[in-house]
Amino acid sequence: MALSEAEPLLHTALQNYFTAVAAQKSPAAPALTIHFNKLDALESQLASQLDPRLRHFLESKSYRKAHDYLESALSSKLVNPTPPRQTCTR
């Protein structure tokens, strides 16, 4: 499962969202609406470039599932990198 050029942007936005969620108990908790707006904007802007399953997770606001999907894609790409194309010199 290869990542499109759009998916790393979503991955970063989701990580920022989860960091903000984790900080909600602190006295200076960040506003989550900024993150929701960013994710909504990315979803609508990049919808045509996204895997249908990932798009479904985002439309359903299943951000944990979307993040896990992207994490899986990233880890499989790191574990099984695409071998470089070799050209024949003959």
Q: Break the chain into its structural domains and give their ranges.
A: 1-14+33-78
Q: Is 80 helix (H, G, I), strand (E, B) or coil?
A: coil
- Nearest-Å Rg of the Cα atoms of the chain is 16
Q: For residue 45, give the nearest of 32, 58, 34, 31 by alpha carbon.
A: 58
Higher-pLDDT residue of 8 and 2 is: 8
Phi and psi at residue 63, to the nearest 5°: -65, -35
Q: What is the pTM of this model?
A: 0.77
Residue 24 clears pLDDT 90, i.e. is over it: yes
Torsion sign over Cα 20, 70, 57, 49: positive
Q: Write the pLDDT tens digit of every residue in 39-86.
A: 999 999 998 888 899 999 999 999 999 999 999 987 775 544 555 555
